[in-house]
Structure 1
Amino acid sequence: MAVVLVGTLDTKGEEFAFARDVIEAQGVDVHIIDVGVLDAPEIEPDTTAAEVAEAAGTTLEALRDDGDRGEAMTAMGKGAAAIVTDLHESGMLDGVLGLGGSGNTSIATTAMRALPVGVPKFMVSTMASGDTEPYVGSSDIAMMYSVADIEGLNQLSRRVISNAALAMVGMVTNEPDVTVEDRPTIGMTMFGVTTPCVQTAREYLEDAGYETIVFHATGTGGKAMEELIRQGIIDGVLDVTTTEWADELVGGVLNAGPDRLDAAAETGTPQVVSTGALDMVNFGPRDSVPDEFEGRQFHIHNPQVTLMRTTPAECAELGSIIANKLNSATGPTALVLPLAGVSMLDVEGEEFYDPEADGALFDALRENIASDVELLQLETDINDEAFARALAEKLDEYMRASGVGP
């Protein structure tokens, strides 16, 4: 077993030496990658900063001469990512541990994100008590707040670093009891307001012989699913909840970026797509909603989440965007419309019920969808059991026809 440490040894050599010693005392090998640019390392690395820079297509001297800290961190992150990927593929990396402030957190987590899901990744950081999305992304990186800055060893830093080092030892020396079955895998998207639909569809698909992975459509969830589709881990997609596009278009906080819905289309992965939660845009606490949206219709989901109803104009644009995304698909694709409501809140008697907005969404989808995308329309809301079964049955049909079914 081998743990790789990624760190700026020109400023954190003492701390990395301590982490190395804790890990090696448990009988686990350590490989240290130096990503420090400013000065010579305080301890001897296994992979030098010069080698990291070379792996990024530059030289350490060039980075030092340029004097651009941001450019240097970007380059060292790129180089470290290439090196840890090579180490993992050659069987010389079982886990990665990083320690640092904002600089090494950026570099080390860039390297970690290059590794497959399931490879242990642990970052001790001064940045871990804030917004960690830029560092974690859609990867399975664990972050621990360092409490004090990682600057010298003391009673606090020794305990925090020891805990992290021993946690990493535990992860790499204990094989997780994960049963891997040879079943095709379906990626699904869910929100609280589409949960009944996803649960019914998931049960149907699992009974039919599939394994399912459900992604919470919170921006990072959609990104994670897109990435796993590209990696070939997901064989089929039941994209019930495309709400992340509403946040991308209108300016909500749970957007998945402009590439959402691209992966399945580009890889030819069988997909069945619906309009789940396109009636809403997500914000944080009510007082965090930008002033430009005052006067709109809101629903307080909980103290931390405020939902805003999409307008007919926004719904029409969403329909056009989603249709154009699906039109580029190279594999079997169906669009399934729940004509009686796209979420729990968008049914008669509930706060977001708005036939005009839904009509604008459905009309735009009908007008823009290509003839080679199968269009199904049901006179039910999205959480109706019949709708959920129709989604699952259609995807099962596509999977079997494509030769990737159970």
Structure 2
Amino acid sequence: MNKTIALLITLDTKEQEAAFLVDEIKKLGDLPLLMDIGVVGEPGTPPDITREEIALEGGKPIHELLKNPTREEASPVMVQGCIKILNRKIMSGEVDAVLGLGGTQGTSTCCNIMQALPYGFPKIMVSTIAAGDMSGFVGIKDITMMFSVSDILRLNPFTRKILANAAAAASGMAGVETKFLMEKGDKPLIGMTNLGVLTKGAIEAINYIEENGYEVIVFHAVGSGGRAMEQMMKEGIIGAVFDYAMGEIADDVWHVLRAGGPERLTVAGKLGIPQVLCPGGAEHLGILVEEHEIPEAFRDHKQVFHSPVIFVPRLNSEEMIRVADDILKRLQYTKNKAYFMFPLKGVGRYSIPGGVLHDPEADAAFFDHLRKNLPANIEVVEMDTHAEDPVFVKKAVDLLIELIEEN
């Protein structure tokens, strides 16, 4: 059955590339839906959805944008218009994948649109800047970035091949039969955070969750992972959470590698989602450095390199209390009953007895500060184990299932 591929292209500058992609998609047996996201110039090839239609959906007629056209004014209008049109067509089954082309500005516009589309829906961005840091463009959505290598400025033998590959990728993704459909049932999908220093415990948790008849989706808690989990809570995909890793909170206090942002650790509480919490990995930071470089501010700390370019300093007692205060600030939004697990022998593999970051005094200061200041509705569960101990993990899962079944 024919699939429909939406194409996000500025037709005043990339009309040749657009026409080529339209032909390639038709050769593959699919249907192109060409959307003109340009503003200033007239389209060089006819679109299926015009810039006029998109601008109107975005809240401002194109003739108003053209009075004194600026990217700052036009881009948000075109982005919102495309989001409305595409989400409507996705919901009605009229579009099966989206493919964008662009340089710096086009990548920003297309990716802003793609970030507002559903998880699992195929999103491909052919970009001149895809070889750089794409975190700001991908955000927390499943966008596939494809480096164009050369500029996207007229056709040549090389760009034809790149664009043909992109068309084939979009067609292939659109035709995949596996769907991401969450059916409402008695048992919610559980979200769980994880870090490398907790992976053995995470595997134990996954197995035990599945033994109890639930499914779990695990997020690497490196900033984007925690934010993605919480976005899925907002979208109703995730209905319970074992927040096993809180390194994103520690890194947010110092604004370093795994920073989870200001909303992290607040969403489940605001939504009333059952949650069990564990401060896994919150006793250290992850700092991106030049290979084996030790930042001056942490030379007197216990330390280890997680990789040659990821420096990991152990936080001392005073610094651990700063992390605890930040956790407490975020948990003020938790109104329902929740559990906070204290693994007294270490919150991660580095800090267990004998570990390179073992510091029982700093751990004790951290736990004591939390114990004294957590809201009354968050019950502390202390265990004389480390965070990866199967006994600890199973207790956390049992408590989460108890909360789910109480709801």
- Is TM more than 0.5 here? yes
Q: 2:287 corresponds to which letter in structure 1?
A: F
The separation in 2 between residues aligned to 1:164 and 1:178, in whole angstroms, is: 22
Moved more, 155-164 or 38-47: 38-47
Does the 8 Å contact 2:191/2:216 carry over to 1?
Answer: yes
The separation in 2 between residues aligned to 1:71 and 1:131, in whole angstroms, is: 26
The separation in 1 between residues aligned to 2:181 and 2:268, in whole angstroms, is: 26
Does the 8 Å contact 1:345/1:353 carry over to 2?
Answer: yes
The separation in 1 between residues aligned to 2:334 and 2:386, in whole angstroms, is: 26
Deviations 1:258-299 (A, max 9, x none): 100122111111000011000111122345765544544431
The separation in 2 between residues aligned to 1:51 and 1:233, in whole angstroms, is: 32
Aligned to 2:333: 328
Aligned to 1:112: 114
Specify every segment of 5 or more residues in structure 2 that has no aligned partner in the other structure, as ranges: none
Residues 267/289 of structure 1: CA separation in 2 closer, same or farther (3 Å cut) = farther
Aligned to 1:15: 17
The separation in 2 between residues aligned to 1:249 and 1:180, in whole angstroms, is: 35
Correspondence 1:315 to 2:320 = yes
Aligned to 1:26: 28
Does the 8 Å contact 1:73/1:106 carry over to 2?
Answer: no
The separation in 2 between residues aligned to 1:227 and 1:380, in whole angstroms, is: 32
Q: 1:206 corresponds to which letter in structure 2?
A: E
- Picking from 388, 395, 400, the partner of 1:390 is 395
Does the 8 Å contact 1:269/1:332 carry over to 2?
Answer: no
Moved more, 78-87 or 147-156: 78-87
Q: 1:248 corresponds to which letter in structure 2?
A: D
Does the 8 Å contact 1:326/1:333 carry over to 2?
Answer: no
The separation in 1 between residues aligned to 2:263 and 2:182, in whole angstroms, is: 30
Does the 8 Å contact 2:336/2:377 carry over to 1?
Answer: no
For the residue of structure 2 that corresponds to 1:130, the secondary structure is: coil
Residues 81/295 of structure 1: CA separation in 2 closer, same or farther (3 Å cut) = farther
Moved more, 296-305 or 208-217: 296-305
- Picking from 202, 206, 212, the partner of 1:208 is 212
Correspondence 1:75 to 2:80 = no
Specify every segment of 5 or more residues in structure 1 that has no aligned partner in the other structure, as ranges: none
Aligned positions of 1:138-217 closer than 5 A: 138-176=140-178, 183-217=187-221
The separation in 1 between residues aligned to 2:37 and 2:252, in whole angstroms, is: 35
For the residue of structure 1 that corresponds to 2:90, the secondary structure is: helix
The separation in 2 between residues aligned to 1:65 and 1:315, in whole angstroms, is: 55
Correspondence 1:355 to 2:357 = no
Aligned to 1:96: 98
The separation in 1 between residues aligned to 2:216 and 2:406, in whole angstroms, is: 19
- Picking from 283, 289, 292, the partner of 1:285 is 289
**Superposition TM-score, scaled by structure 1 size:** 0.94
Deviations 1:158-178 (A, max 9, x none): 000000101111111231388
Correspondence 1:301 to 2:278 = no
Give 1:192 shift: 0.7
Give 1:37 shift: 1.6
Q: 1:328 corresponds to which letter in structure 2?
A: Y
**Superposition TM-score, scaled by structure 2 size:** 0.94
Does the 8 Å contact 1:80/1:108 carry over to 2?
Answer: no
The separation in 2 between residues aligned to 1:256 and 1:101, in whole angstroms, is: 28
Deviations 1:190-211 (A, max 9, x none): 1010112211121111100000
- Picking from 230, 233, 242, the partner of 1:229 is 233
The separation in 2 between residues aligned to 1:292 and 1:306, in whole angstroms, is: 12
- Picking from 389, 402, 406, the partner of 1:401 is 406
Does the 8 Å contact 1:250/1:314 carry over to 2?
Answer: no
Does the 8 Å contact 1:4/1:30 carry over to 2?
Answer: yes
Give 1:143 shift: 0.8
Give the superposed CA RMSD: 1.9
The separation in 2 between residues aligned to 1:73 and 1:58, in whole angstroms, is: 11
Residues 94/289 of structure 1: CA separation in 2 closer, same or farther (3 Å cut) = farther
Give 1:188 shift: 0.5
- Picking from 62, 65, 68, the partner of 1:63 is 65
Deviations 1:8-62 (A, max 9, x none): 1111111011111100122211111111122111111122222222222223333
Deviations 1:382-403 (A, max 9, x none): 111111111111001111111x
Moved more, 315-324 or 188-197: 315-324
Aligned to 1:218: 222
Moved more, 379-388 or 182-191: 182-191
Give 1:67 shift: 3.8
Q: 2:98 corresponds to which letter in structure 1?
A: V
The separation in 2 between residues aligned to 1:313 and 1:97, in whole angstroms, is: 50
Aligned residues: 402
Q: 1:278 corresponds to which letter in structure 2?
A: A
